[in-house]
A and B are shown apart, each in its own frame.
Chain A
């Protein structure tokens, strides 16, 4: 039963994830933390950090990780399959018809509006994780340092997380 639920949930996540990476996180959080209570808010952030530090698409990483936690290897495979299944169908149709669809006004309008929305969804994910991560001074300082490193110095996210992990081990 859990298997069906896992796969179905991640299919829903795949279907309603526009804008890639961080916009997908908003949807994963909604389903996995709020609706199904498979993870706590804190565990969710751990999954995001792990997904960022390992190679491959973030959504696939998160799906595999959560699937493994809840249903072992089989659960991991099902979640991964679930999250990419809507892609496979929709993207295949679009690939075949894109040149025609590109000329349709309503079609392009959908995408430009969805792009606006995905900015809002990422901001929403930000609001939600912010409350939970800023528990003490140490967290605030790490956050500010990473913000400067990423914004001002365009530090690669991978190195940023590795640096944060080391700082955490030494001082946290």
Chain B
């Protein structure tokens, strides 16, 4: 059981490129359909929690699924499965990169990769804004934080802390009213 869990996550970790959003549908298929470990509804709850909590979403969802299936052990196994392929492959790439970073072809490739990365960050922004519920009335908030962090170089830490404090205060006040 634990072995199966480990290899399920290992497989997903090794073969999905592009971060959490590429991994989620595969994880769902594996744990809800192929192995029937948890229900679809439980998975969706877990996904909502994974997206809301700090840290990499793929790691968060592994924790949730692993814990549901086999408590602490399941959690450890699922997380290890998710990150072991990443760590191994990235270390190999990092070793190679150190040796070849100055090679002409590598330099040329990265010359084009840098603007491509900018586009890559820009493309999902609109979709994310829609999912987060951005509208005319609250648009000032992401805009202001983008300027504070992107132009004035204020650390996101302060904004995040302030947001949490404000949201808790607002939520508690709404409850009393």
Contacts and interface: CB of A to CB of B under 8 A. Distances in A.
Interface residues of A, number: 109
A22 B150 CA distance: 13
Nearest to A45: B114
Interface in B45-65: 45-46, 49-60, 63-64
B58 A57 contact: yes
Contacts of A35: 155
Given A22-B124, A84-B55, 11 more contacts: A21-B57, A57-B83, A60-B86, A80-B83, A83-B55, A87-B55, A91-B60, A117-B163, A123-B142, A157-B18, A172-B112
Given A50-B97, A95-B68, A115 B133 contact: yes
Contacts, number: 375
Given A55-B17, A64-B87, A88-B79, A143 B175 contact: no
Q: Interface on chain B toward A: helix, strand, loop, or mixed SS?
A: helix
A32 interface: no
A114 B19 contact: no
Interface centre among B19, B107, B138 (most CB of A within 10 A): B19
B146 A124 contact: yes
Contact of A17 (B18, B54, B155, B174): B54
Interface of A: 12, 14-22, 24-27, 30, 34-35, 42, 45-46, 48-61, 64-65, 68-69, 73, 76-77, 80, 83-84, 86-88, 90-92, 94-96, 98-99, 102, 104-130, 132-134, 138-140, 142-143, 146-147, 149-151, 156-158, 160-161, 164-169, 171-172
Nearest to A93: B53
25 contacts: A14-B55, A22-B124, A24-B56, A30-B149, A46-B97, A52-B117, A57-B56, A57-B86, A58-B56, A60-B56, A64-B94, A76-B91, A87-B59, A91-B60, A106-B167, A114-B52, A117-B142, A120-B149, A123-B125, A139-B115, A142-B115, A156-B18, A158-B18, A164-B113, A168-B108
